[in-house]
Amino acid sequence: MTEFRVWAPKPELVRLDVDGRVHALTRSDDGWWHADVDAPPHARYGYLLDQDPTVLPDPRSPRQPDGVHERSQLWDPTDANWTDGDWPGRSIDGTVIYELHLGTFTGAGTFDSAIEKLDYLVDLGIDFVELMPVNSFAGTHGWGYDGVLWYSVHEPYGGPDGLIRFVDACHARGLGVLIDAVFNHLGPSGNYLPRFGPYLSSASNPWGEGINIADADSDEVRRYIIGCALRWMRDFHADGLRLDAVHALVDTTAIDILEELANETDWLSKQLGRPLSLIAESDRNDPRLITPRDRGGYGLTAQWSDDIHHAIHTAVSGERQGYYADFGSLATLAHTLRHGYFHAATYSSFRHRRHGRPLDTATVPATRLLAYTCTHDQVGNRALGDRPSHNLTAGQLAIKAALVLASPYTAMLFMGEEWAASTPFQFFSSHPEPELARATAEGRKAEFAEHGWDAEEIPDPQDPQTFQRSKLNWDEVHAGEHARLHRFYRDLIALRRNETDLADPWLEHMIVDYDEEQAWIIMRRGQFGIACNLGAEPVQMPVTGEVVLSWGEPTVDADHTALEGHSVAILRCG
């Protein structure tokens, strides 16, 4: 017998359909409906609400073989053939994470095809793979942030069995796996949850209606979210989650859902006997996220730091538009590298208000912040999906890489950046509903037209070629300048891993010198000096020692190191 349970406090009647046979369910006072039914192991099933004849998928569906609008399928995680029993897990602190979108990482865009590239990631020196969302969403391809059935795995990627094979293969190679989880909104296609219960709130965010985590009857919705998060780590052996846009979670309760999730993740970690990590994406610059709970924080493992990205990108590229307006100087870059946040109870011209709060660098290690030269957001949310490699010299890319990978922060790469991939990463979708498809395309064009772009230049997200253009071209990795930059990244990651001074997590131990006029900056970390010439003209920099890694041809004398334009040298000074 199989137990079927569904939380559905809204309808007056809920029935279960298993392979075309309808069964009555018993309702409990707490809004749960349940029944024990003799069902075959892979039965297709769904729920009938009141008198509507439409069979709806299970809100906690373990599998959606025919898409988010169709019946769910039974799937038992205990049937999986895991071989990672001796995987001890690892902390993300100070590691190198590799963010990838499964559908464009390889030509086939599946878990199995991605497995074929894992040895490449090991050779590069990667510690963790971070998957952009792999939960079920409408259509065949998309970014995954419009998921509607959070408990199931997108079937075109390989479904739950494919994810298990991928995680198992990663662990066999010593790679940890992080999964991007979206709990702040639901996608516009296939969202049947509001018909079952009060999943949505009175609040809203840029992507639609908010999730009910603090209004009436929100306790079960919170359990729905936390249960999904724990499922990724328990049933699929993920080593942690990246939590999308947590600033969009409106929680007015005394115990924030992030604190609750962190507490339960720590409990699960103890049960499993391996480290589990929670990484927040937040634009609030709020240290409470990564402050331990015994000191009044939420106790998350780490968070993305867009300020570090903005400070590095603007100083190197010269871009100043939009939210880059407060960044760009070397003084800003030096301050941000030393303090983790630039906006820390300071005025933000983009927001027209004070923003952020200072990070206590004496008690919070730098490894609790993620630094990166680019992410899926910083590439894909540009009008054309252009990468830094489309606009910068190879030397400028090397400078950005050195500032991230030789810093004290936990580092993250976005797929393909390590060889200056020529392919863009554009915004793409495959909504099956014509009206939604048209609205998505028109909305994208209108958004960028407001910022001065010709609407006709903006790629149509629904055009299959937009998706195809975004797939990595792996033939580039070992060709010409691509191969040279790849070697620089690999050597830089190896240096980071092997040198104790570069593993020091305390920002107070790092010294940053710079010259605004001559456009150079030096990070001093123990016996190492990371010297970067951001300008196009040669400069002499007050650092000397043995050159252990460089981009360009540095000249070292007793007092100075001469660097050509757009170049970097890492020196052993002691």
**Phi then psi for 17, rounded to 5 degrees?**
-110, 115
549 belongs to an annotated ligand binding site: no
Q: CA-to-CA distance for 435 and 441, rounded, in angstroms?
A: 10
Crossing angle for the helix pair 219-234 and 257-272, to the nearest 10 degrees = 30
380 belongs to an annotated ligand binding site: yes
Residues 6 or more apart whose Cβ sits within 8 Å of residue 133? 143, 144, 145, 147, 179, 180, 181, 182, 244
The pair of structure tokens assigned to 502 is 């570069």
184 belongs to an annotated ligand binding site: no
Q: Are 327 and 342 in contact (CB under 8 A)?
A: yes
- Which of 220, 228, 223, 230 minimizes the C-alpha distance to 268? 230
Question: Parallel, antiparallel, or unpaired: how do β-strands 44-49 and 32-37 relate?
Answer: unpaired
Q: CA-to-CA distance for 400 and 380, rounded, in angstroms?
A: 19
- Which of 463, 440, 413 minimizes the C-alpha distance to 146? 440
215 belongs to an annotated ligand binding site: no
Q: CA-to-CA distance for 199 and 193, rounded, in angstroms?
A: 6
376 belongs to an annotated ligand binding site: yes
509 belongs to an annotated ligand binding site: no
Q: CA-to-CA distance for 495 and 253, rounded, in angstroms?
A: 45
245 belongs to an annotated ligand binding site: yes
97 belongs to an annotated ligand binding site: no
243 belongs to an annotated ligand binding site: yes
Q: CA-to-CA distance for 443 and 432, rounded, in angstroms?
A: 17
27 belongs to an annotated ligand binding site: no
Instruction: State whether residue 81 is helix, strand or coil.
Output: coil
237 belongs to an annotated ligand binding site: no
Instruction: State whether residue 516 is helix, strand or coil.
Output: coil
Q: CA-to-CA distance for 162 and 155, rounded, in angstroms?
A: 9
The pair of structure tokens assigned to 350 is 């983009």
Residues 6 or more apart whose Cβ sits within 8 Å of residue 546? 556, 571, 572
Catalytic residue among 58, 281, 326, 460: 281
343 belongs to an annotated ligand binding site: no
CA atoms within 13 A on the CB side of 133: 26
36 belongs to an annotated ligand binding site: no
93 belongs to an annotated ligand binding site: no
- Which of 313, 311, 425, 308 minimizes the C-alpha distance to 370? 308
381 belongs to an annotated ligand binding site: yes
- DSSP code string of 540-572: EES--SEEEEEES--EE-SS-EEE-SSEEEEEE
Asked about 244 being catalytic, the answer comes back as yes
**For 246-249, which contacts have Cβ atoms below 8 Å and span 24 or more sequence positions?**
246/184, 246/280, 246/281, 246/282, 246/289, 247/282, 247/283, 247/284, 248/184, 248/185, 248/205, 248/206, 248/207, 248/210, 249/183, 249/184, 249/210, 249/211, 249/213
352 belongs to an annotated ligand binding site: no
Q: Which residues of 316-340 are buried (b: 16+ CB within 10 A; e: fewer)?
A: bbebeeeebebbbebebbbbbbbbb
- Which of 526, 558, 527, 528 minimizes the C-alpha distance to 540? 558
Residues 6 or more apart whose Cβ sits within 8 Å of residue 63? 72, 73, 74, 75, 152, 153, 155, 159, 160
Asked about 112 being catalytic, the answer comes back as no
308 belongs to an annotated ligand binding site: yes
Q: Are 528 and 571 in contact (CB under 8 A)?
A: yes
Residue with tokens 């339960």: 264
Catalytic residue among 58, 127, 239, 244: 244
Please list the active-site residues. 244, 281
Summarize the annotated binding site for substrate as residue ranges.
242-247, 306-310, 376-381
| Positions at the binding site | 242-247, 306-310, 376-381
